């Protein structure tokens, strides 16, 4: 079965010439892949860009996302330079999440002593390195080249930051679900010879 990862690898411009691959009876071509992505893009443009950034490491997708999130913060009344810095941080958090080295991104660790799996204590079961509020305050200070204390970050910026992160994750999730559904539908049509 064709995965979403494979779908976005097929639509990555660099790999467009990989040609068609077999999927069931018929062929699922790069054009089919582009068609699926186009359908998803219509309703979840941000989510598609997040998947492209995560799966193909597309810098172009990250730039588009950065601009969109910057506009989100400008719309909330942020000064342009802070909005751009926050946009950069949100995109990096969502698209380039470093994997927890303690559990290798699994979120669980096996205990020999108890002979069972336990939630990883380092990442609290998320499998990712979690950025603390203090990390974020530091990042924003560096990016804006002015001191933003942990207290100011927590009271002024944190809620808006998390709102943007949640919006991004939500659209990514919806884009992935729709991509999966459209992919299955397209594969079925190809198998039935009606695509």
Q: Which positions lie near Zn ion, rule CB under 5 A? A: 100, 102-103, 120, 122-123
Q: Which is nearer to Zn ion, 128 or 174 (CB)?
A: 128
Kind of pairing, strands 108-111 and 116-119?
Answer: antiparallel
The CB-of-124 to Zn ion minimum distance in angstroms stands at 8
The answer to whether the CB of 39 falls within 8 A of the CB of 178 is: yes
**Cα separation, 171 vs 166, whole angstroms:** 9
Sequence-separated contacts (24+) of 159-166 with Cβ below 8 Å: 160/73, 160/76, 160/78, 160/86, 161/86, 161/89, 161/90, 161/136, 164/69, 164/72, 164/73, 164/86, 164/87, 164/90, 165/90, 165/93, 165/94
**Cα separation, 34 vs 29, whole angstroms:** 9
The CB-of-129 to Zn ion minimum distance in angstroms stands at 8
Q: Which is nearer to Zn ion, 62 or 103 (CB)?
A: 103
The CB-of-97 to Zn ion minimum distance in angstroms stands at 12
What end-to-end distance do the CA atoms of the chain give, in Å?
Answer: 17
The CB-of-184 to Zn ion minimum distance in angstroms stands at 32
Q: Which is nearer to Zn ion, 34 or 129 (CB)?
A: 129
Q: Residue 151 is encoded by which pair of tokens?
A: 């207290």
Q: Which is nearer to Zn ion, 7 or 100 (CB)?
A: 100
Q: Which is nearer to Zn ion, 43 or 111 (CB)?
A: 111
The CB-of-130 to Zn ion minimum distance in angstroms stands at 9
The CB-of-121 to Zn ion minimum distance in angstroms stands at 8
Tell me which residue has tokens 């002024």: 156
Q: Which is nearer to Zn ion, 24 or 98 (CB)?
A: 98
């Amino acid at each position: 079965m064709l995965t979403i990862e494979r779908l976005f690898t097929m639509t990555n411009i660099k790999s467009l010439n990989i040609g068609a691959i077999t999927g069931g009876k018929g062929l699922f071509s790069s054009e089919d892949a582009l068609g699926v992505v186009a359908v998803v893009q219509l309703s979840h443009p941000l989510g598609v860009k997040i998947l492209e950034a995560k799966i193909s490491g597309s810098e172009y997708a990250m730039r588009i996302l950065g601009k969109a999130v910057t506009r989100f913060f400008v719309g909330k009344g942020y000064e342009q330079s802070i909005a751009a810095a926050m946009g950069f941080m949100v995109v990096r958090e969502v698209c380039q999440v470093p994997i927890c080295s303690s559990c290798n991104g699994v979120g669980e660790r096996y205990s020999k002593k108890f002979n069972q799996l336990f939630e990883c204590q380092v990442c609290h079961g998320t499998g990712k390195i979690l950025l603390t509020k203090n990390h974020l305050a530091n990042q924003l200070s560096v990016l804006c080249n002015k001191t933003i204390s942990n207290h100011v970050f927590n009271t002024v910026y944190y809620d808006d930051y998390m709102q943007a992160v949640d919006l991004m994750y939500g659209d990514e999730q919806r884009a992935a679900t729709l991509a999966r559904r459209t992919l299955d539908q397209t594969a079925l049509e190809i198998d039935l010879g009606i695509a």
